[in-house]
């Protein structure tokens, strides 16, 4: 057998690809990263819309694998803004000298397994093919923009933007009539700032969203120092949390229905005053029991009606799904923005979009004249980036075929019939339900150890068995069915992309998952064949 050019090809230079490259080198493997973007950072390279920032606290949304790195990096705000997270990604790349093995501005178009040589051939839109023994798809769960196919879209004469493909030089909306389509997290962050700048903002809302306040603030250096003094404790606490964050504001391990109305209300008030996603950690059954969720839902709706002055607008903004079923939004002045005289809410449930015209957006109710349109319409999540690569495994079988009824993986890490191909934060793993940096670290470290163990066992190929994969898919479905997540049309289910198979893709419960990964290793890589 010929030697492949590199031991490992890695697709993507977001946090997953960066750490995977570092890990490969630490394990003595040669690696080549290919990145479609012009630089490192992934999500934080592409999403430069106004207000983009993380909604997991900075001290938690960062790598913990290297103590010097976590000690030296200083965050300036409780929730880091996009430019700062991008600087951090650049710092990681420079600190570990990663750039020399990254090919930028290059898109991977195909990855093909050769049964005979046991090598993968990775084809790109620029430059030579790469042959590698291992391929790691670090392509991101939220990296493929979803732009709805609205009739007439190409006829609009003004500029259009997608939040996840924002121009690097920024956009000045001064004096303009702007339309924003969508009310998910990206919209919730950008709408207040666009409204401040634009002459008029029209928000096109299909599904109302819940939002909890961020209460973002400068990070107190003393507070930061205290956390760093025992950073290991915070990281360990996060790894014990179902969402891999919240160590700064732990979850109450009690049912919402086990306490009095007064006590519950006080706890919701306290969490609201703290701010952030850990609002949902007030009780342990908010995403399990509808009646429990309803108590939180009513509390948040009460806040919405306190903030929004016009009762008709407040009614339109009121969501009816389970709170947290779609990813909870963390906001700074989102609902209050609808009190501004220059902001109009269009409820697409009452008047759906008919077409985009030369002049704006026409709903069944009116034509809204606009100078610019912002698509805050999200992503073809979790599978979109993989589906856009022609991946072929054993016998030339396309991944699209293997996943025709929805994604099927073992542990969210490997796919039966696709030897030596790994997915970081793939479907069937906790991924998007967690602080993703923790999930990325856990996957990269698992892959690193797996390959070291493979070498030690004198093997070069690892592959998930179809039986183990089937059992895993059933398990993920059963866990999801135990929660309230499948009760709404979220992107977790693929419901935001017309025609996409509806399967709940992530696995709830980080610590149990990590333990399962560990047990499988301890059992000699149960469910995998190694040769």
Interface residues with ligand NAP (CB under 6 A) are 54-55, 142, 148, 163, 181-187, 189, 206-207, 327, 330, 348, 376-379, 432, 491, 496
- Locate 207 and state its tokens: 């599904």
Residue 37 interacts with which of ligand FAD, ligand NAP, none, CB < 5 to 8 Å by class: ligand FAD
Residue number, 113 or 525, with CB nearest to ligand FAD: 113
Nearer to ligand FAD, 40 or 370 (CB): 40
Question: Which residues make Cβ contacts (< 8 Å) with residue 425, sequence separation at least 6?
Answer: 16, 141, 412, 431, 432, 436, 439, 440, 443
Residue nearest to ligand NAP (CB): 184
Q: Decide whether 109 or 298 has the Cβ nearer to ligand FAD.
A: 109
Q: For residues 200-219, b (16+ Cβ closer than 10 Å) or e, as one string?
A: bbbbbbbbbbbbbbbebeeb
* Footprint on residues 273-302 left by ligand FAD (CB under 6 A): none
Told to check if 47 binds ligand FAD by CB under 6 A, we report yes
Structural tokens at position 394: 């054993």
CA distance 26 to 19: 10
Sign of the CA dihedral running 463, 469, 452, 383: positive
Q: Are 485 and 508 in contact (CB under 8 A)?
A: yes
Choose the one of ligand FAD, ligand NAP, none that binds residue 317, judging by a C-beta under 5 to 8 angstroms depending on kind: none
Task: Considering only residues 350 through 379, tell me which ones interact with ligand FAD, judged by CB under 6 A.
Answer: none
The torsion angles phi and psi of 360, rounded to 5 degrees, stand at 165, -145
Closest CB to ligand NAP among residues 258, 315: 315
- C-alpha closest to that of 318 among 294, 335, 333, 332: 335
Taking the least distance from each CB to ligand FAD, the nearer of 102 and 462 is 102
Please, are residues 440 and 425 in contact by the beta-carbon 8 Å criterion?
yes
Exactly one of 4, 6, 9, 15 binds ligand FAD (CB under 6 A); which one?
Answer: 15
Backbone angles phi, psi at 512, to 5 degrees: -65, -40
Binding partner of 357, given ligand FAD, ligand NAP, none, CB within 5-8 angstroms per partner class? none
Distances (CA, A) of 103 to 21, 37, 126, 397, 510: 12, 9, 10, 27, 33
Residue 486: contacted member of ligand NAP, ligand FAD, none (CB under 5 to 8 Å, by partner type): none
Diameter of the chain measured on Cα atoms: 72
Question: Which CB, 186 or 295, lies closer to ligand FAD?
Answer: 186
Q: What minimum distance in Å lies between the beta carbon of 145 and ligand FAD?
A: 10
- Residue from 221, 212, 218 nearest 249 by CA: 212
Rounded least distance, CB 9 to ligand FAD, Å: 11
Q: Is 43 in the site for ligand FAD (CB under 6 A)?
A: yes
Task: Please work out the total of residues on this chain that contact ligand FAD, with binding judged by CB under 6 A.
Answer: 37
Binding of ligand FAD by 380 (CB under 6 A): no
Q: How far is the CB of 349 from ligand NAP (least distance, A)?
A: 9
Q: What is the sign, positive or negative, of the torsion defined by CA atoms of 522, 527, 528, 531?
A: positive
Q: Is 382 in the site for ligand FAD (CB under 6 A)?
A: no
State in angstroms the smallest separation of the CB of 101 from ligand NAP.
28
> Quick one: 264 or 500, whose CB is closer to ligand FAD?
500
The one among 6, 9, 11, 468 contacting ligand FAD by CB under 6 A: 11
Residue 56 interacts with ligand FAD (CB under 6 A)?
yes
CA distance to 139, 281, 371, 391, per residue, from 231 (Å): 29, 21, 48, 40
> Least separation, in Å, of the C-beta of 259 and ligand NAP?
29
Task: Please report whether residue 321 would count as binding ligand FAD according to CB under 6 A.
Answer: no
With vertex at residue 428, the alpha carbon angle to CA 472 and CA 483, rounded to the nearest 5 degrees, is: 90
DSSP-derived letter for residue 492 is G
Nearer to ligand NAP, 131 or 249 (CB): 249
Taking CB under 6 A as the binding criterion, the range among 113-121, 132-140, 154-162, 402-410 that sits at the site for ligand FAD is: 132-140
Q: Which does 425 bind (CB under 5 to 8 A by kind): ligand FAD, ligand NAP, none?
A: ligand FAD
Q: Return the residues of window 148-167 that contact ligand FAD according to CB under 6 A.
A: 164
Q: Which of 55, 87, 54, 52 is nearest to 170 (CA)?
A: 52
Looking at residues 68 to 107 of the shown chain, list those that interact with ligand FAD (rule: CB under 6 A): 107
Q: Name 112's bridge partners.
A: 121, 392
Residue 17: name its binding partner from ligand FAD, ligand NAP, none (Cβ under 5 to 8 Å by kind): ligand FAD
d(CA 328, CA 116): 48
Q: Where are the alpha helices (DSSP H) in 395-487?
A: 399-402, 436-456, 466-481
Answer yes or no whether residue 493 interacts with ligand FAD by CB under 6 A: no
* Residue ranges in contact with ligand FAD by CB under 6 A: 11-17, 34-37, 42-43, 45, 47, 52, 54-56, 61, 107-108, 138-143, 164, 186, 385, 389, 424-425, 435-436, 440
């Amino acid at each position: 057998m010929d030697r492949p050019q590199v031991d490992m090809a890695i697709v993507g230079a977001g946090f997953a690809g960066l750490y995977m490259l570092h890990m490969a080198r630490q394990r003595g493997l040669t690696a080549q990263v290919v990145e479609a973007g012009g630089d490192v950072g992934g999500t934080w390279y592409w999403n430069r819309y106004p207000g983009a920032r993380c909604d997991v606290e900075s001290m938690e949304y960062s790598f913990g694998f290297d103590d010097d790195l976590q000690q030296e990096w200083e965050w300036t705000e409780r929730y880091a803004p996009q430019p700062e997270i991008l600087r951090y990604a650049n710092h990681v790349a420079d600190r570990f000298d990663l750039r020399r093995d990254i090919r930028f501005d290059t898109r991977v178009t195909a990855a093909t397994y050769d049964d005979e040589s046991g090598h993968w051939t990775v084809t790109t839109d620029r430059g030579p093919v790469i042959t590698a023994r291992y391929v790691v798809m670090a392509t991101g769960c939220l990296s493929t923009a979803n732009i709805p196919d609205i009739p007439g879209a190409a006829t609009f004469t003004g500029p259009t933007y997608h939040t996840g493909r924002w121009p690097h030089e920024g956009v000045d909306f001064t004096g303009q009539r702007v339309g924003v389509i969508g009310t998910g997290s990206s919209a919730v962050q950008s709408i207040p700032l666009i409204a401040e700048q634009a002459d008029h903002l029209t928000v096109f809302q299909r599904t109302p969203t819940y939002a909890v306040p961020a209460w973002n603030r400068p990070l107190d250096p003393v507070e930061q120092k205290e956390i760093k003094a025992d950073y290991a404790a915070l990281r360990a606490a996060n790894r014990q949390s179902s969402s891999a964050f919240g160590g700064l504001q732990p979850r109450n391990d009690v049912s919402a229905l086990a306490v009095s109305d007064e006590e519950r209300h006080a706890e919701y008030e306290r969490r609201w005053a703290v701010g952030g996603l850990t609002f949902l950690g007030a009780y342990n059954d908010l995403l399990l029991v509808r009646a429990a969720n309803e108590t939180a839902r009513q509390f948040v709706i009460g806040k919405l009606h306190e903030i929004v002055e016009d009762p008709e607008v407040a009614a339109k903004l009121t969501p009816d799904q389970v709170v947290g079923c779609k990813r909870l939004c963390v906001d700074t002045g989102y609902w209050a923005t609808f009190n501004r005289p220059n902001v109009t809410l269009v409820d697409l449930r009452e008047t759906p979009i008919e077409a985009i015209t030369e002049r704006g957006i026409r709903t069944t109710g009116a034509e809204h004249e606009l100078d610019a349109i912002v698509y805050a319409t999200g992503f073809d999540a979790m599978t979109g980036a993989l589906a856009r690569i022609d991946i072929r495994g054993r016998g030339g079988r396309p991944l699209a075929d293997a996943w025709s009824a929805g994604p099927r993986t073992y542990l969210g890490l490997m796919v039966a019939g696709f030897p030596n191909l790994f997915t970081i934060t793939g479907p069937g793993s906790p991924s998007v339900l967690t602080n993703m940096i923790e999930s990325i670290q856990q996957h990269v470290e698992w892959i690193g150890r797996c390959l070291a163990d493979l070498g030690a066992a004198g093997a070069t190929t690892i592959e998930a068995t179809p039986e183990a994969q089937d059992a895993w898919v059933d398990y993920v479905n059963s866990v999801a069915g135990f929660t309230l997540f499948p009760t709404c049309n979220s992107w977790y289910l693929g419901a935001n992309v017309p025609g996409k198979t509806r399967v709940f893709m992530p696995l709830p419960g980080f610590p149990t998952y990590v333990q399962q990964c560990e047990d499988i290793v301890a059992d000699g890589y149960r469910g995998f064949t190694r040769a």
